[in-house]
Amino acid sequence: MLLSRKNRKPIKIADKQVKEWKYAVCGYCSTGCTLEVGLNAEGKPVASRGKGGAHVNQGKLCIKGIFEHELSESSGRGTQPLIRDKMYEDYQPTTWDYAFDHMASEFKRIQDKYGRDSVAVVSTGQLLTEEFYTLGKLVRGAIGTNNYDGNTTLCMASAVSGYKRSFGSDGPPGCYDDFENTHCLMAFGSNLPEQHPIIYWRLKEALEKRKFPLIVVDPRVTMMAQFADIHLAITPGTDLVLLNALAHVILQEGLQKQDYIDAHCNDFEAFKATVEKYDPTTASKICGIDEDMIRHVARIYANAPSAMSIWTMGINQSTHGSDGVCGINNLNLITGNIGIPGGTSLSITGQCNAMGTREWSSCSGLPGYRALEKEEHREEIGKFWGVDPEFFPKKRGLQQTDIFPAIESGQIKALWIVATNPLTSMPNQPRIKKALEKLEFMVVQDGYKDCETTHYAHMYLPAAVWGEKEGVQTNTERRVNIVRQFVNPPGEAKPDWWIFNQLAKRFENGQKIHFPESTSEIFDEMKVLSKGEKRTLDISGMSHDLIEQNNGLQWPMREGQEVGDQRLYADGVFQTPSGKANLLAMEYVENNEVPDNQFPFWLNSGRVVEHFHTRTKTGKLGNLNKFSPTPYMEINPDAAKDLGINSMQYVRLVSKRGDAVVMAQLTHRVPRDMVFIPMHYHDCVNRLSLGLLDPYSRQPAFKQCAVRIEHVDQAEAAKLNVERRAY
Ligand SMILES: Nc1nc2c(c(=O)[nH]1)N[C@H]1C(S)=C(S)[C@@H](COP(=O)(O)OP(=O)(O)OC[C@H]3O[C@@H](n4cnc5c(=O)[nH]c(N)nc54)[C@H](O)[C@@H]3O)O[C@H]1N2
Ligand SMILES: Nc1nc2c(c(=O)[nH]1)N[C@H]1C(S)=C(S)[C@@H](COP(=O)(O)OP(=O)(O)OC[C@H]3O[C@@H](n4cnc5c(=O)[nH]c(N)nc54)[C@H](O)[C@@H]3O)O[C@H]1N2
Ligand code: SF4
Ligand SMILES: [Mo]
């Protein structure tokens, strides 16, 4: 029955009774949306809203941001330090003092017995930048192990490596405003509408004002591909071939900016000789893209007054991830598209503070993009911290993906995991489990005590998470923004920086080095270290308060500047010894595990909009988890028909490493010879993945391996799914 207009009840949004709004930057992805969290009269977070006028998001948030305040009441949080003698025994509560004493004494015992590097530390892209700096100081300056890295090796390592090889330094050179200026955008293995929804919104806004071609390279028909003008459904793992072929066409047709190349690039001749071999006819047979389409795209890109490329995990997580990044940089260098409005190589970063760890954690060297390999940098930091520079190693140690094999081989005996969940997120999980069982001592420091990796530890340290501590994060466009504390951590959980400070006191050097007692003081210390005429990473013009007043500030921002620089390399001067960028000549080597008769499907993996990573957060929020609570795969309906698989039926996937049971979702998003599984579920995609490593970045090729599909008993599979999370 239709209600008359008079009787209609307007939709009423419940009044949340917000008494105060607190400033924060989102703690999920690297877009860096500014938001405000509403507190009620009791100080309880009851709402989140995008901050109007904030440069990045202008009042908008995606679904994760909208419900972010609900995290303050989520289950599974750790409230006191826990300890046990042996893996698999029950944990017992302990005091912070005992936990620190025990941890330091175990680390020292193991270091005395097996050498300093037998203790490994693996961190994250999700701490505050001040916390990263403090952890680096503790590990490099006091504990003194060289086997120190972060989960960014699973994520951004190829981008970092590629930037360093091409431009002499890390640091994304572009910004979101480039969308407003560009005349062509090419996106490689990046699904913005789901993974960076507000960056996508910025792109869409720009496209609505002024149309320009959008070209998407992805083997799946992602949401981004559906919005594209041209979708290049590339054969997995072959982006370098496409990139070399695009360069081939540009040089052959004389479309390059020769003046820019002559003035600002090294090694043009060697580069030219290599790409000469990648003619579109040959390339198309490898990368699966029609040869005329390759020519067409090359012409559009090179003829645009300005053109930009963005990329994310489809490039980085590959056996030639670093080469792929350099290939993108090559393309932009030869077309003169670096450092100009709308012309850039912009790596879309992953976690909320993946940039902060690259800049300040000392994982890959020393703070502020300094290198262990450079004597002057060791001297400078040694003097600044008050430690003997000889205490520092002279080159970088193992990365995360090499640390686990080193546990296997007995080289590493103790492991400290900070804010990452490798049992779910590392490739080849069966091998990771076996490695962890070999450790003499393992500590997990996480906001959630129920994260899967805790099952393998001897000690668990409860950390404060987003909104329970104060400090900065850097987003994809080098914008530093601040999270203010708006709620207290539960029970005895403590901010990570406080935990690092307390542990430092238990080490000889740690007693000599100054560890400030607040994050704003830590930030001031970083400012001093960032100063320098030639340094791109200069934050000396910023302060916590200025950052909030401006809704985030970009680096470099030197003392005296009102805001930071939007772009790097606008002057065409790069961070290499010659000041010129390197054009890199790179051959494609076929080295993936590819489908065969026994394992006929490509296994691709990635993300969906409602979940974040291993679901320690989003799996707990009904408003997000309800959209995809069950592990599933995308499979093409034609392939499903051949195998007799119906929609919503459970199947078993099998690879050479292991097996996983998932539900089938029939969709044309994937080609007939590929399945796609969201990475978010435990005991799922990474039981199958191989994770061959890129030779430069050591990043795993999560996106490529081979599987077969088998039928399973439906009732048994459903039961397994209920039990899966409770193990
Ligand atoms: N909702 C949500 N957002 C997130 C995250 C999250 O967990 N959830 N995580 C954040 C983090 S840490 C990251 S790193 C980013 C990741 O952001 P994205 O990289 O955009 O996300 P993915 O889904 O991992 O992978 C992107 C695409 O790479 C494609 N791909 C696979 N193989 C190839 C290939 O050989 N070549 C090309 N060109 N493409 C290929 C896949 O089909 C997939 O569509 O997202 C961030 N944002
Ligand atoms: N198959 C497959 N695997 C993948 C990927 C893929 O595309 N496919 N992507 C890879 C990528 S790009 C990434 S980035 C990784 C992510 O992999 P992980 O880093 O393992 O994922 P998270 O679930 O984000 O783990 C972060 C942990 O930190 C905790 N935490 C959050 N905030 C804080 C804090 O402030 N302090 C402390 N101490 N703890 C905190 C969370 O509770 C969580 O347990 O996964 C990788 N694995
Ligand atoms: S786009 Fe990223 S930063 Fe913005 S609200 Fe969503 S998860 Fe947070
Ligand atoms: Mo990531």
Question: Looking at the CA of 313, which ligand is closest?
Answer: 1
Ligand 1 atom at minimum distance from 236 CA = 35
Determine which helix (DSSP H) or strand (DSSP E) holds 23, and give its type and residue range.
Answer: strand 20-25
| 197 C-beta closer than 6 A to ligand 3 | yes
In the predicted model, what is the mean pLDDT of residues 111-121? 98
Question: Looking at the CA of 27, which ligand is closest?
Answer: 3
| 222 C-beta closer than 6 A to ligand 1 | yes
User: Using CA atoms, how far apart are residues 323 and 413, in angstroms rounded to an integer?
Assistant: 33
User: Using CA atoms, how far apart are residues 38 and 487, in angstroms rounded to an integer?
Assistant: 11
User: Using CA atoms, how far apart are residues 513 and 525, in angstroms rounded to an integer?
Assistant: 13
Question: Looking at the CA of 135, which ligand is closest?
Answer: 2
User: Using CA atoms, how far apart are residues 166 and 338, in angstroms rounded to an integer?
Assistant: 12
Nearby residues of 498 by Cβ (< 8 Å), 6 or more positions away: none
Nearby residues of 136 by Cβ (< 8 Å), 6 or more positions away: 360, 361, 362, 363, 366, 367
Assign residue 192 a region (left: φ > 0; alpha: ψ between -120 and 50; beta: otherwise): alpha
Which CATH architecture is the domain 82-153+353-554 placed in? 3-Layer(aba) Sandwich (3.40)
Mutate to test the pocket of ligand 1, among 238, 313, 603, 636 (most ligand atoms within 8 A of CB): 313
Mutate to test the pocket of ligand 2, among 124, 315, 453 (most ligand atoms within 8 A of CB): 124
| 61 C-beta closer than 6 A to ligand 3 | yes
8-17, 50-59, 143-152, 164-173: range with lowest mean pLDDT: 8-17
| 191 C-beta closer than 6 A to ligand 1 | yes
| 313 C-beta closer than 6 A to ligand 1 | yes
| 297 C-beta closer than 6 A to ligand 3 | no
The tokens of 709 are what?
């599909």
What's the pLDDT score for residue 183? 98
User: Using CA atoms, how far apart are residues 363 and 152, in angstroms rounded to an integer?
Assistant: 10
Ligand 3 atom at minimum distance from 197 CA = 1
pLDDT at 428 over 60: yes
pLDDT at 8 over 80: no
When the candidates are 3.40.50.150, 3.30.450.20, 3.30.200.210, 1.10.150.20, the CATH number that belongs to 20-73 is 3.30.200.210
Mutate to test the pocket of ligand 3, among 25, 195, 198 (most ligand atoms within 8 A of CB): 198
Residue 479 burial (CB < 10 Å; 0-12/13-18/19+)?
Answer: buried
User: Using CA atoms, how far apart are residues 183 and 523, in angstroms rounded to an integer?
Assistant: 39
Q: Are 80 and 72 in contact (CB under 8 A)?
A: no
User: Using CA atoms, how far apart are residues 439 and 633, in angstroms rounded to an integer?
Assistant: 34
39-48, 604-613, 713-722: range with lowest mean pLDDT: 713-722
Q: Are 421 and 451 in contact (CB under 8 A)?
A: yes
Mutate to test the pocket of ligand 1, among 198, 218, 331 (most ligand atoms within 8 A of CB): 218
Please tell me the pTM assigned to this model: 0.96
What's the pLDDT score for residue 726? 44
| 454 C-beta closer than 6 A to ligand 1 | no
What residue owns the CA closest to ligand 1's atom 3? 195
pLDDT at 505 over 80: yes
Mutate to test the pocket of ligand 2, among 71, 122, 151 (most ligand atoms within 8 A of CB): 151
User: Using CA atoms, how far apart are residues 668 and 542, in angstroms rounded to an integer?
Assistant: 48
Q: Are 145 and 120 in contact (CB under 8 A)?
A: yes
What's the pLDDT score for residue 725? 55
Ligand 1 atom at minimum distance from 62 CA = 1
**Ligand 1: distance of its center to the CA of 312 in Å?**
6
pLDDT at 720 over 90: no
What residue owns the CA closest to ligand 3's atom 4? 33
Mutate to test the pocket of ligand 1, among 232, 312, 617 (most ligand atoms within 8 A of CB): 312
User: Using CA atoms, how far apart are residues 298 and 246, in angstroms rounded to an integer?
Assistant: 5
- Note the pLDDT tens digit of each residue in 327-357: 999 999 999 999 999 999 999 999 999 999 9
- Note the pLDDT tens digit of each residue in 181-201: 999 999 999 999 999 999 999
Nearby residues of 15 by Cβ (< 8 Å), 6 or more positions away: none
DSSP helix/strand/coil, 382: helix
Distance of CA 598 to the CA centre of its chain: 33
Helices (H), 335-374: 354-360
Determine which helix (DSSP H) or strand (DSSP E) holds 414, and give its type and residue range.
Answer: strand 414-418
**Ligand 2: distance of its center to the CA of 421 in Å?**
6
| 612 C-beta closer than 6 A to ligand 1 | yes
What's the pLDDT score for residue 534? 80
284-323 burial: b if 16+ Cβ within 10 Å, else e: bebbbbebeebbebbebbbebebbbbbbbbbbbbbbbbbb
| 349 C-beta closer than 6 A to ligand 3 | no
| 48 C-beta closer than 6 A to ligand 3 | no
pLDDT at 639 over 50: yes
**Ligand 2: distance of its center to the CA of 484 in Å?**
22
User: Using CA atoms, how far apart are residues 360 and 137, in angstroms rounded to an integer?
Assistant: 10
Which value, to the nearest 10 degrees, does the dihedral of the CA atoms of residues 697, 324, 129, 73 take? -100
User: Using CA atoms, how far apart are residues 28 and 50, in angstroms rounded to an integer?
Assistant: 14
**Ligand 4: distance of its center to the CA of 664 in Å?**
25
What's the pLDDT score for residue 60? 97
In the predicted model, what is the mean pLDDT of residues 411-433? 97
Ligand 1 atom at minimum distance from 222 CA = 44
Which CATH architecture is the domain 601-726 placed in? Beta Barrel (2.40)
Q: What is the CATH number of domain 173-347?
A: 3.40.228.10
- Note the pLDDT tens digit of each residue in 305-334: 999 999 999 999 999 999 999 999 999 999
**Ligand 3: distance of its center to the CA of 62 in Å?**
5
Band of pLDDT at residue 533, cut at 50, 70 and 90: confident
Distance of CA 717 to the CA centre of its chain: 32
What residue owns the CA closest to ligand 2's atom 35? 465
What residue owns the CA closest to ligand 3's atom 2? 29
What's the pLDDT score for residue 92? 98
Mutate to test the pocket of ligand 3, among 51, 64, 483 (most ligand atoms within 8 A of CB): 64
**Ligand 3: distance of its center to the CA of 132 in Å?**
21
Q: Which residues surround ligand 4, an ion (CB under 5 A)?
A: 155, 350
CA distances from 14 to 17, 346, 531 (A): 9, 41, 49
What's the pLDDT score for residue 364? 93
Strands 471-474 and 214-217 come out as unpaired
In the predicted model, what is the mean pLDDT of residues 64-91? 95
| 198 C-beta closer than 6 A to ligand 3 | yes
Q: Are 212 and 183 in contact (CB under 8 A)?
A: yes
pLDDT over 90 for what percent of the chain?
Answer: 95
In the predicted model, what is the mean pLDDT of residues 241-245? 98
Q: Are 64 and 615 in contact (CB under 8 A)?
A: no
Any residues with Cβ below 6 Å from ligand 2, and which?
A: 124, 126-127, 151, 154-155, 313, 317, 350-351, 418-422, 425, 445-448, 451, 463, 465, 496, 605-606, 613-614, 616, 679, 685-686, 689, 702
In the predicted model, what is the mean pLDDT of residues 693-709? 97
SS3 string, 497-508, reads: HHHHHHHHCCCH
Q: Please measure the distance between the N-terminal and C-terminal CA atoms of the chain and give it in whole angstroms.
A: 50
User: Using CA atoms, how far apart are residues 656 and 692, in angstroms rounded to an integer?
Assistant: 13
Average pLDDT, the chain: 96
Determine which helix (DSSP H) or strand (DSSP E) holds 111, and give its type and residue range.
Answer: helix 96-114
Nearest Cα to 614, choosing from 343, 419, 361, 380?
A: 419
pLDDT over 70 for what percent of the chain?
Answer: 98
The tokens of 248 are what?
């081939």
The residue to which tokens 């001093």 are assigned: 528
Band of pLDDT at residue 724, cut at 50, 70 and 90: low
Strands 471-474 and 82-83 come out as unpaired
| 32 C-beta closer than 6 A to ligand 1 | no
The residues spanned by each domain of the chain are 20-73, 82-153+353-554, 173-347, 601-726
